[in-house]
Structure formats: structure tokens, C-alpha cells
């Protein structure tokens, strides 16, 4: 405990390089990824990015998606697909959970990819889902928002500083599969709002979490 007075603490958040990110937008790569999954332009693609380990909460998302898959009331909900970009020690266990839940035909494990392909995945996605159990700042959430993708995430770490419920996405409590299923279902039922929410997320990043903003704050502080 450094016993520093609160009024002396200034937070300059992690930020993303929007100029470089925008150069990675590739419409052809986006279409190729959706085609490889057999998805039309209107089929919802859920995307998650991260190291596959326990604290990322992907096992909770599998539970949530299994519950969502059993809901046949909505045609839109019946056509979604989830892609997970990343690798890690929990991948075999997660793959087994996907098969056990009967979701194998709805889930793609993309593994590790390079930067260009990662940003193509962001562009191909309809919604970004980050079910983490605990978190620091979450750069992947910022990247998804920079790509104008609404975010469904947990109230963990610095995520509530970025995702505004009803504006740029949805927030649920960490580890709550029921709440996560409800949020994903609600998002899939509101696809007409996706573009507006994505634009709102991009505006938040530009205003609060870009490299330009972070640099200006550091210069002001010094």
C-alpha cells in the first residue's frame, strides 16, 4: 500500500492505434471468412478473442450458447455462429464442452492468427462477446469497438469504463450463464440496432481510448 492520496492519482487508460487499425480493414478478407463459415451477410456471427484459459470465461459462454440454442422461438437466434480466435491450455476442455453441448456445428475455433486476419475477424463479426471472469483493461474489447462492433461483456475490471449498456452493448455479471444467454438473445433480436450501437462504440474509443487521446492526457499531466 503506497498510501497515495486519491486526489493525486491520475488514470491514463490503455488505448488503441486507430490509424493503424483502420488500414487493416479488408472487405475481401471479411467476406472470405464469412463464406468459409457458410454465413450469409445477414447471419449473425458472434466473435470472441483471447487466450483460452479459465479466467476468460469461455466455458460460461458455452453454457449460455447451449441454452440459447435450445430456444427455437426466434428464427434469427437459430442461425447464429460463434467464432473464437485464440489458443491456450483450456482449449481441449472447451472443445469437449462444445461437443457435449451439441454446438459443434455452430462453433469455430480459429486458433492463433496474425494481426491482419484478426482484424478481418472483427470485421466479419456481427457482435463481440467477452465473457471474462476478471480483467484489467481489455484491449480486445477496445479493438472490437473500434471496428464498430457492439459488445456483450461482463462487469469486470475496466470493461464498464468502455461498454455503456444500451448504447454500445450489454453488460452482465461475471460467471452468470443465464444473464449472458439473455443478453446474447436480446442482441440477436435487436440486429436492426447493431450499426448504431457499433458507431456509438467507435465514438467512445475515438473520444476516450485512442492513442491520440492518451498521448494528449500524458502531455497534459507532465
Over residues 90-108, the pLDDT tens digits come to 999 999 999 999 999 999 9
Strands (E), the chain: 45-49, 81-85, 107-111, 127-130, 151-154, 169-172
> What are the two backbone dihedrals, phi and then psi, of residue 16, each rounded to the nearest 5 degrees?
-120, 155
Q: What confidence tens digit (pLDDT) does each residue in 123-137 have? A: 999 999 999 999 888
The answer to whether 117 and 94 have CB atoms below 8 angstroms apart is no
pLDDT value, residue 75: 45
pLDDT value, residue 74: 52
Q: pLDDT at residue 185 above 90?
A: yes
Q: What confidence tens digit (pLDDT) does each residue in 23-66 have? A: 988 889 999 999 999 999 999 999 999 999 999 999 999 999 99
Q: pLDDT at residue 171 above 60?
A: yes
Q: pLDDT at residue 84 above 60?
A: yes
Query: Which residues does residue 208 pair with via DSSP β-bridges, in sequence order?
Result: none
Q: pLDDT at residue 153 above 90?
A: yes
Q: pLDDT at residue 178 above 70?
A: yes
pLDDT value, residue 154: 98
Closest among 49, 71, 41, 87 to 184, alpha carbons compared = 71
Q: How confident is the model at residue 8 (pLDDT cuts 50, 70, 90)?
A: confident
pLDDT value, residue 77: 54
Amino acid at each position: 500500500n503506497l498510501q497515495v492520496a486519491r486526489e493525486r492519482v491520475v488514470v491514463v487508460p490503455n488505448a488503441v492505434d486507430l490509424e493503424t487499425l483502420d488500414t487493416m480493414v479488408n472487405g475481401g478478407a471479411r467476406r472470405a471468412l464469412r463464406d468459409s463459415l457458410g454465413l450469409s451477410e445477414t447471419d449473425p456471427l458472434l466473435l470472441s478473442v483471447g487466450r483460452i484459459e479459465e479466467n476468460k470465461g469461455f466455458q460460461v459462454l458455452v453454457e449460455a450458447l447451449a441454452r440459447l440454442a435450445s430456444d427455437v422461438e426466434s428464427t434469427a437466434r437459430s442461425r447464429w455462429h460463434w467464432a473464437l480466435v485464440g489458443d491456450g491450455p483450456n482449449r481441449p476442455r472447451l472443445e469437449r464442452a462444445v461437443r457435449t453441448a451439441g454446438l459443434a456445428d455452430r462453433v469455430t475455433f480459429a486458433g492463433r492468427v496474425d494481426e491482419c486476419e484478426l482484424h478481418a475477424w472483427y470485421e466479419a463479426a456481427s457482435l463481440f462477446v467477452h465473457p471474462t471472469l476478471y480483467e484489467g483493461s481489455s484491449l480486445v474489447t477496445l479493438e472490437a469497438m473500434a471496428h464498430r462492433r457492439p459488445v456483450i461483456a461482463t462487469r469486470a475490471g475496466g470493461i464498464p469504463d468502455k461498454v455503456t449498456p444500451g448504447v454500445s452493448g450489454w453488460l452482465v455479471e461475471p460467471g452468470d450463464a443465464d444473464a449472458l444467454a439473455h443478453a446474447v438473445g436480446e442482441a440477436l433480436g435487436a440486429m436492426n440496432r447493431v450499426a448504431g450501437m457499433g458507431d456509438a462504440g467507435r465514438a467512445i474509443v475515438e473520444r476516450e481510448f485512442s492513442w491520440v487521446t492518451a498521448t494528449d492526457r500524458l502531455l497534459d499531466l507532465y
